[in-house]
């Protein structure tokens, strides 16, 4: 079971993550969405497409753009559609 935690709070937990470029991508239904809020930030990856970002608020701290998701990925990344990944400030074990 792979778990993502921030400030002692479990953000996501799944035994079905996808690993892409060293990042665990968690299925959307394994994410505790009450700790994430969508931001206006977006980026574009040449092979994955456009990413949307989420701030994380947990354990008394809020960090901007700490998680991201590809809601409409390009063809080579369709296996991570709607999956969520986290920056290293989130512990993934």
pLDDT in tens, 32-87: 999 999 999 999 999 999 999 999 999 999 999 999 999 999 999 999 999 999 99
**pTM score:** 0.96
Neighbouring CB atoms inside 10 A of 73's CB total 20
The distance from CA 50 to its chain's CA centroid, rounded to whole angstroms, is 14
Domains and CATH numbers, the chain: 2-92 (2.170.150.40)
Residues 6 or more apart in contact with residue 51 via CB below 8 angstroms: 42, 43, 44, 45, 68, 69, 70
Tokens of 53: 């970002």
| Residue 80 pLDDT | 98
Average pLDDT over residues 10-35: 98
Beta bridge partners of 3: 13
- In this prediction, residue 32 carries a pLDDT of 98
């Amino acid at each position: 079971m792979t778990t993502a935690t921030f400030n002692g709070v479990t953000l996501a937990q799944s035994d079905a993550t996808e690993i892409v470029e060293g990042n665990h991508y968690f299925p959307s239904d394994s994410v505790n969405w009450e700790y994430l809020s969508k931001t206006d930030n977006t980026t574009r990856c040449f092979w994955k497409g456009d990413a949307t970002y989420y701030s994380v608020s947990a354990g008394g701290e809020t960090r901007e753009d700490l998680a991201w998701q590809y809601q409409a990925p390009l063809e080579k990344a369709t296996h991570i559609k709607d999956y969520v990944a986290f920056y290293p400030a989130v512990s993934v074990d």
